[in-house]
Amino acid sequence: MSGKGMLGFAVLVLILAALSYGAYFGLFLDLPLSDDPNSWGQLGSFMGGVLGPFFSLISIALLIKSLTLQNKANVNMFNELERNKKGDVVRRFDSKFFNLIDSQKVSFANFSLDFTFDEGGIETFKSSKAISSLEDVLSSLDGLDNAKNYKGELIKRLDDDDDIFSLVRVFYVIVKLICDAFPDDDEEHSKLRKEYIVTLVNFTDYSMVRLMLITMRYGNYASSRYLNGNKDFKEVMKDLKLQDYYDSI
């Protein structure tokens, strides 16, 4: 029952009590109203003794109701503060996250690889062209014994200037930043990690994503090993069908 309901009920009881006493003494006992102040004082004392405990009970019930509502309000306020706190954490993270993606785009725009051809010539390819050329060279090694080792050595030779290493490290840093920002195993953090990793992949040039997968399979970088061992990233690979490319290279 609400506070207003309790108060209304108390007033109703008071009115009914007064009417019942009046009816009993006036109608059944045929007693007139007394002019003696002492009699009225005694009646007041009697009514106070009868109704006092009842109103005390009503007061206690209203107090309990008030405390319950206050506790509920405090819980709601705490939950709201927690939501605001989490929102602030996400907003701060968003700023850092998208700044790193912008830095990654700049790094990929400047990325290049030098390829040596049978004729002895060297040609430099940049960005997406460099990745597609790397894929062509890797494909040419398919069918050879120990092809995986040859591909690993090829990547190592092409990365004399650490261009591949640097680019992979940028991607790794962003993935690690996501996992460090939302480290808990609960459903909320798990969902946030995957959402941000999906966003990262979608905001990353597809050629660069393919390079990440190539180095994960054939590279010997700590950053590549981290990505291979990252449960959330591996699940995103499957969800986005990147695992198919990984298995085919």
How is 35-77 classified by DSSP, letter by letter?
A: --HHHHHHHHHHHHHHHHHHHHHHHHHHHHHHHHHHHHHHHHH
pLDDT of residue 72: 85
The CA distance from 44 to 52, in Å, is 11
Q: What does each of the 249 residues of the chain score in pLDDT, given as a tens digit?
A: 555 665 666 667 767 776 776 666 655 656 566 666 776 677 677 666 766 777 777 788 778 888 888 888 778 777 777 766 677 777 889 999 999 999 999 999 999 999 987 776 889 999 999 999 999 999 999 988 899 999 999 999 999 889 999 999 999 999 999 999 999 888 889 999 999 999 999 999 999 999 999 999 999 899 999 999 999 999 999 999 999 999 998
Instruction: Please state the φ and ψ torsions of residue 35, each to the nearest 5 degrees.
Output: -100, 0
Residue 120, Cα to own-chain centre: how many angstroms? 55
Strand ranges, E, within the chain: 112-116, 122-126
pLDDT of residue 12: 75
Which tokens go with 20?
């019942």
pLDDT of residue 151: 94
The CA distance from 97 to 99, in Å, is 5
pLDDT of residue 16: 75
pLDDT of residue 84: 62
Query: Which residues, other chains included, contact 17 with Cβ-Cβ below 8 Å and sequence gap of 6+?
Result: 47, 50, 51
pLDDT of residue 99: 94
